[in-house]
Each structure stands twice: as C-alpha cells, then as structure tokens.
Structure 1
Amino acid sequence: MSIVRRLFQREPDPATIPVTHEGIVYEVAVRRMAQARRFTLRVRTASRDAVLTMPQRARFADARDFAERHGGWIAARLSRIPETLDFVPGAVVPLRGVGHAVVHRADRRGTVWVENGEIHVAGDAAFAARRVQDFLKREAKKDLELATRHHAAALGVKVTRITMRDQASRWGSCSSTGAINYSWRLILAPPFVLDYLAAHEVAHLREMNHSARFWRIVRDLCPGLEPAKAWLRVNGAQLHRYGTK
C-alpha cells in the first residue's frame, strides 16, 4: 500500500462507544449505514443494549458526542427492559398466552408435556430449561405451520418452507420464493396474535410491501388483526425476556 493511500485511508470505527451516566458505563454499539441521513439511537430488548446508527460519511467524533448527550435517554430506556427469566423449574411461562408453571419431574425420563395447566419436564434438572425451550419451539412450529397452511390455502398461494428463528427485530419475514421465517416466541402470545402474524406473512406472498392493498389482504385473512397488533405493541417486548438466546 502506498504512503499516500495510507494517509487518506480512514481508520476503522470502534465497535462501541462507552457512555457514562450517573457512574454507570453503557457500551453503545455503532453502525454506519448508507441510507442514514442523521444520527439515531434505539434500544434492543433482546440483547439489552443500545445501538447508534450514523450516516456513512459522518465523523465518528460527532457520533460520540451525540451518544454522550443522550446518556440519560439510554439509561432510562435500558432500565425499562424487564429482567430475563429462564425456563427453570418454578418459573411461570405464558404458553399460548396463559401462564404455566414449570414443574420438574425427577421420576420421569427425557420428555416435556403439559398437564393440569403446568409444563412438566423430566430428566436431569440441569437440562430442564433447555428441554422446555426446545419443547416451546416445537409447539411454535406446529401452531405456525397449521395457521400458515390455512391462510395460504385461503389465499391460493404456495409456501415452500417454514422456519423458526429467534429474531430480535421482527416477528416474521417472507421471501419471494415462498419461504417464511417466524420467531418461535410467538407461542408465548395468545393464539389470535400468532394467527395474525401468520396471515401477515402469507399476505406478503401476494404483496411484498405494506401497501393499502397488502393490508386489505391481511384483513380478509384475519378480520381481528387490530387487537393482535395492539397486543404486540403493548406486550411484544416482554416475550424476549424468556429463555436463552
């Protein structure tokens, strides 16, 4: 590399900006985006951190100043994120929107089942949380496959693949090839919320946008979409407090 090129090459940005507020240091993740026109801050519930998005050509020093000026905002938003709750024996899990206590059954072997409004988990207690989470993922896949196939048949479209993920920023996504991804955490929400998300993603197989036509299709598939959207606005972030990433 020539000396001239080295002189004009920009040093890579640090991955985070340390912001101190009332004696506590918050590490703010930084990312440059070509589409960004200004500095923005948001808090990520799943990872319990803050991220600053900056324009591609902005100075990193200005980004640091922006983050430091908003230290109080960052601290306040992060303090509102509820503590995480693992699926250990004694925890209460909202399976399909209804609280179920996790009960360890040392007398049984290697399975998880629902009984009398409780989630029973057999085997070694050390593996109980992981077994319950795996069980919830299987239940999510079963319910979402059923709802997705139902809406796809009603709309006359083809779904090629249904996958469970743990997406922090969205509840579902759909590709033009008919592959649909969902957050397995939807099994923690009431069934009408899960049904709405399935209708939402299936509707994208007709309209890969959020136009008025798209929302008409969603409403035809799921007339009760407004209560579901309202439930997610109020309670959606809480679903990320459960289990492990």
Structure 2
Amino acid sequence: MSSARSEHALILADGATVPLVVQRHARARRLRLRFDGLAGEALLTMPARASLRTALDWAGQQTGWVEAQRARAAGRVVLGDGVWLPVQGEPLRIVATGAPGRRIAREGDRLLVGGPADHIGARILRWLATEARAVLTDDTRALAGEHGLPLGRVSIGDPRARWGSCSARGDIRYSWRLILAPPHVRLATVAHEVAHLRHMHHGPDFHALVRAISPVDPDVARAWLRREGTGLHRYVG
C-alpha cells in the first residue's frame, strides 16, 4: 500500500535541475533512489514514517550518482541497420538483409532482419518481446515446478519502475528488457518473483528462499541491475 507522491527537485553540480519524485511506501524499509532515463527524473522511495527532510538531505548527497545515470540515459539508441544490441548479454549487430519476409534470426554475432527497411526498429522490439515472453515463461515455470510453488499466468510488459512483479493470485509479470541482460540477471529476477509465490513480502524468510532456489548469486545480479539497468531502457524503435 502506497501513499501520495510529492515532487521536489535535485540541483546537480553543473547547475541543472532534475525532478525528484518522492513516494512513501508502507513496505519500504530504507531509502531507495532510482533514475528514470525515459522521464528524466529521479525517483525516491522512502518508508512511510520516515522524515521527509532526512530523505531529501540523503537524496541531495547522491547527486554524483544521479549525474552519472543521467549521462548514461542520454545516449538513446534507435534500433536500425548497423546498430549493436545486447541480447541475453551478448552484443549483436543488426543487419537489414532486405530479404523477402520479415524473419529475424541470430547468426553468430549478427541479428539478421528481413523485410523493408522502414520500421525495422519496431519489428525488432516486437521480436525481443516475443523472445522475452518465451524465455521468461520457460524459466519461471521450470523453477516454480521444481519447488512445487503454485504459479498463475506469466506475462511481460515494459515498466519503468520494476523488473518483475508477482500478484496475490500468483501471476508474474516481467519487463521484456530482461532479455537484453546477461542470463544470470534474468535468472536471479525469476527466482525473486517465484519466491513471492510463497512469501508476499521482503522479509528474512523471503530472502532466504530466494537464495535457496536461485541458480545464481542474487546479490551479483542485483548489483548489475543497479549499475547497468538504466541502460537497458536506451533502446527504442
């Protein structure tokens, strides 16, 4: 359960002002800062009863990190012929073949895209979403089945704020952009959401289950997403 948001501003060292959106959250146990490269704003989540002044002071000490994230997000990549794109963490060069049909296929370090050159980026985004749905569904069903956890529906979207979510009904939804990340990041995210099928909170029992069922180190994956996750939103059609 979340309360109302409030809007503030962060002043960076170069004098630029970045919108700061503060969200109190009943489940938050600490301050957490993210940068939304698409919206160009910083998002601060804080515990429901924490001091707003303390939270804003803390955010003001993170301006160096915000500047770095802002600079990284500024380099948007429009998908098209010759562009390099990470798929499951491996860089692939997009090659518009001009071949009949709109088939997209991996061949070595190339992503071969048939059909007309116009709207090639949109076709690649649809292909990536299809790949993500298939891979994440397989990963999730396999892990949930292995541990006897009741899974509902698996779906994908393109949220800005989270990489995955699990509903009380057992439905799990992911960001399709996880298909761009290395496999260990995707697998740790799957373990996180599958663990919510038993524990709908982030308490000690939940984290213990994540570590027990994850095939990779969740701390390493979480660190990668904190460091590189914003960059996955750079790719547009």
Normalising by structure 1, what TM-score?
Answer: 0.74
The alignment yields a C-alpha RMSD, in angstroms, of 3.8
In structure 1, the residue matched to 2:126 is: 134
Code of the residue aligned with 1:239 in structure 2: it is L
In structure 2, the residue matched to 1:46 is: 37
Contact between 2:42 and 2:66, CA under 8 Å: does it hold in 1? Answer: no
Between stretches 116-125 and 134-143, larger displacement belongs to: 116-125
In structure 2, the residue matched to 1:81 is: 72
Number of aligned pairs? 226
1:117 is matched with which residue: 86, 109, 128?
Answer: 109
1:103 is matched with which residue: 62, 87, 95?
Answer: 95
In structure 2, the residue matched to 1:231 is: 224
1:23-54 Cα offsets, whole Å, 9 max, x none, are: x764626567597xxxx995533322345789
Distance across 1 between alignment mates of 2:205 and 2:12: 47
Between stretches 189-198 and 108-117, larger displacement belongs to: 108-117
Shift of 1:137: 0.6
Q: Call closer, same or farther: CA 1:17–1:155 in 2, change over 3 Å.
A: same
Code of the residue aligned with 2:67 in structure 1: it is A
Contact between 1:104 and 1:122, CA under 8 Å: does it hold in 2? Answer: yes
Shift of 1:235: 2.0
In structure 1, the residue matched to 2:163 is: 171
Contact between 2:95 and 2:110, CA under 8 Å: does it hold in 1? Answer: yes
Counterpart secondary structure, 2:119: helix
1:117-141 Cα offsets, whole Å, 9 max, x none, are: 2111111211110111110111111
Between stretches 154-163 and 184-193, larger displacement belongs to: 154-163
Contact between 1:49 and 1:78, CA under 8 Å: does it hold in 2? Answer: no
Shift of 1:18: 10
Distance across 2 between alignment mates of 1:174 and 1:192: 20
Distance across 2 between alignment mates of 1:15 and 1:229: 27
Counterpart secondary structure, 1:110: coil
Distance across 2 between alignment mates of 1:20 and 1:218: 37
Structure 2: which 5+ residue stretches go unaligned?
1-5, 47-52
Identity %: 31
Contact between 2:35 and 2:230, CA under 8 Å: does it hold in 1? Answer: no
In structure 1, the residue matched to 2:3 is: none
Contact between 1:92 and 1:100, CA under 8 Å: does it hold in 2? Answer: yes
In structure 1, the residue matched to 2:205 is: 213
| Structure with the greater alpha carbon radius of gyration | 1
Shift of 1:230: 2.9
Where has structure 1 moved over 4 Å in runs of 4 or more?
14-22, 24-27, 29-35, 40-43, 51-54, 72-75
2:192 maps to 1:200: yes
Distance across 2 between alignment mates of 1:49 and 1:21: 16
In structure 2, the residue matched to 1:28 is: 19
Shift of 1:233: 2.8
In structure 2, the residue matched to 1:144 is: 136
Between stretches 160-169 and 107-116, larger displacement belongs to: 107-116
1:162-182 Cα offsets, whole Å, 9 max, x none, are: 111111121100011011110
In structure 2, the residue matched to 1:57 is: none
Normalising by structure 2, what TM-score?
Answer: 0.76
Distance across 2 between alignment mates of 1:96 and 1:73: 29
Contact between 1:105 and 1:122, CA under 8 Å: does it hold in 2? Answer: yes
In structure 2, the residue matched to 1:240 is: 233
